[in-house]
Amino acid sequence: MSVRRTKIVATLGPASNSPEMLEQLILAGLDVARLNFSHGTPDEHKARAKLVRDIAAKHGRFVALLGDLQGPKIRIAKFANKRIELKIGDRFTFSTSHPLTEGTQEVVGIDYPDLVKDCGVGDELLLDDGRVVMRVETATADALHCVVLIGGPLSDHKGINRRGGGLTAPALTEKDKADITLAAEMEVDYLAVSFPRDAADMEYARQLRDEAGGTAWLVAKIERAEAVADDETLDALIKASDAVMVARGDLGVEIGDAELVGIQKKIILHARRHNKAVIVATQMMESMIQNPMPTRAEVSDVANAVLDYTDAVMLSAESAAGAYPLEAVQAMARICVGAEKHPTSKTSSHRIGKTFESCDQSIALAAMYTANHFPGVKAIIALTESGYTPLIMSRIRSSVPIYAFSPHRETQARAAMFRGVYTVPFDPASLPPEQVSQAAIDELLKRGVVEKGDWVILTKGDSYHTIGGTNGMKILHVGDKMV
Ligand code: G6P
């Protein structure tokens, strides 16, 4: 069977919390476990994280933990009778002065006062991910009076978006700030920031992460219309992050479903060009919440993201709350492998016309050029401190596996998210220099990845523990005496 290159992120929740189910998910190919900080207590998250790490270690697997901050999702308050039913043409009001638990058929409270300032007459508001749509008819200091354009049920705490974006809530709430500290304590490998508007939001998150003593790589969830309004904003946001997520739920609501696929392709392309990892998320296997097999449309959606060369595809409710979490991971793994056979995911345009920015980047890219054009190359070994060298390598399309050789836990876990990158624990500093190449090859021989007569590329630096220090590449012939 071919080795899958695209990585799988699965959200943990009631459907996947038991040690037995978690173990099955990890064995089925889970690479990154997403902990949703919108639900659950700190103790629950810590227990779940420990379980993931313990089970992964038991099987010699590397599974990264991704903590996902709740962010400033704007929600309506509650109804006196939990839910109402709205019809086209109904009048409905959002009020910042209405009691928060007393919503009626005509009005509901909201505890985000700026909604009234941010919206004006003629704006469209989308509720519950766009299932109900209204247009603002009149606005006062404390209320928006609307007419219903698309009716349906509306219940407690459903989210509100404005078509076209533009709600001004800052990305990090007080809860998020507390969760950044929690994430640092838990040593999560990735931390996802919800609803960042621009690079400044990510820089602020980075500052808070540093103050909390965290080392997690920051993932910008791209889910606001203003984040993708122009290339300049998008690129600045990507550059201010370590990875990005195409968060299609809110993004699709704000920019409209017709724009979504094109924007997804653009975000993946730009993230890769800026040397960042990228995840495609939301509703990838939605029907598998209730069914043991995906629809053809879902198969096609996952495959499309794989062909776009995403690093990872993600499961949300399918693995957190669905009836078939294991089947969902298995289906995703199968579809990834199938789509990866398609030639577009093996060839690279090699950044023609681009200049390289540093020595280590140049070596990483030279290694990929060689791997893709020298037929006997079966594997690439990147000795890495932080994971940067294999990250850069995996920005280039290839069918040659990239092995991140590192002695550090954080790096081993982090690399689990990079497409085509696999981890091998290895400390070159513990060996005499003349034995490093052979010892590295031995690790691949042990795993059955290479055999006598194969070629392997190895990259490293002059010193054995310097981030950014990679300055050399060797082409090694398996079976020959190495120095
Ligand atoms: C390992 C190697 C070093 C190299 C470094 C690069 O530590 O032993 O020789 O300089 O990786 O690490 P990086 O984090 O830049 O991929």
* Structure confidence by residue, pLDDT tens digits, 196-233: 999 999 999 999 999 999 999 999 999 999 999 999 99
Q: Which atom of ligand 1 is nearest to the CA of 462?
A: 9
Q: Based on the residue annotation, tell me whether 34 is a catalytic residue of this protein.
A: yes
Q: Based on the residue annotation, tell me whether 224 is a catalytic residue of this protein.
A: no
- Is 460 close to ligand 1, i.e. is its CB under 6 Å away? yes
Residue 483: inside a domain: no
Q: Give the three-class secondary structure for 435.
A: helix
User: Of 275, 309, 340, which one is at a domain's C-terminal end?
Assistant: 340
SS3 string, 291-316, reads CCCCCHHHHHHHHHHHHCCCCEEEEC
Residue 2: inside a domain: no
Give one DSSP letter per residue of 125-150, joined into a string.
EEETTTTEEEEEEEE-SSEEEEEEEE
pLDDT at 384: 97
68 and 89 co-located in one domain: no
Q: Based on the residue annotation, tell me whether 117 is a catalytic residue of this protein.
A: no
Q: How far apart are the CA of 390 and the centre of ligand 1, in A? A: 10
Tell me if 322 sits within 8 A of 311, measured CB to CB: no
65 and 188 co-located in one domain: yes
121 and 233 co-located in one domain: no
From 465, 471, 474, give the residue whose CB has the most ligand 1 atoms within 8 Å, as the site to mutate: 465
User: Of 162, 187, 222, which one is at a domain's C-terminal end?
Assistant: 162
Ligand 1: which residue has its CA nearest to atom 10?
Answer: 469
419 and 451 co-located in one domain: yes
30 and 155 co-located in one domain: no
Residue 321: inside a domain: yes
204 and 132 co-located in one domain: no
Q: Does the pLDDT at position 21 exceed 50?
A: yes
Tell me if 49 sits within 8 A of 409, measured CB to CB: no
CA torsion sign, 34 to 407 to 61 to 51? negative
Q: How far apart are the CA of 436 and the centre of ligand 1, in A? A: 13
From 411, 460, 473, give the residue whose CB has the most ligand 1 atoms within 8 Å, as the site to mutate: 460
256 and 377 co-located in one domain: no
- Is 461 close to ligand 1, i.e. is its CB under 6 Å away? yes
Tell me if 356 sits within 8 A of 362, measured CB to CB: yes
255 and 149 co-located in one domain: no
243 and 328 co-located in one domain: yes
- Which of 199, 358, 43, 264 has its CA nearest to residue 51? 43
Residue 265: inside a domain: yes
Q: Which residue has the higher pLDDT, 129 or 462?
A: 462
Q: Which atom of ligand 1 is nearest to the CA of 386?
A: 14
Task: Give the domain range for residue 461.
Answer: 359-478
User: Of 110, 139, 162, which one is at a domain's C-terminal end?
Assistant: 162
67 and 88 co-located in one domain: no
Q: Which amino acid is at 387?
A: G
Number of CB atoms found within 10 A of residue 33's CB: 30
Q: Which atom of ligand 1 is nearest to the CA of 463?
A: 9
Q: Based on the residue annotation, tell me whether 346 is a catalytic residue of this protein.
A: no
- Is 471 close to ligand 1, i.e. is its CB under 6 Å away? no
pLDDT at 352: 65
pLDDT at 348: 66
User: How many domains does the chain contain in total?
Assistant: 3
Facing residues of 147 across strands? Answer: 91, 135
Ligand 1: which residue has its CA nearest to atom 5?
Answer: 384
Give the pairing of strands 402-406 and 277-281.
Answer: unpaired
Tell me if 246 sits within 8 A of 265, measured CB to CB: no
Tell me if 156 sits within 8 A of 79, measured CB to CB: yes
Average pLDDT, rounded, for the chain: 94
Q: Does the pLDDT at position 1 exceed 50?
A: no
CA torsion sign, 187 to 192 to 197 to 198? positive
- Is 428 close to ligand 1, i.e. is its CB under 6 Å away? yes
- Mean pLDDT confidence for 122-139: 94
Q: Which helix (H) or strand (E) holds 210?
A: helix 199-211
121 and 199 co-located in one domain: no
- Is 430 close to ligand 1, i.e. is its CB under 6 Å away? no
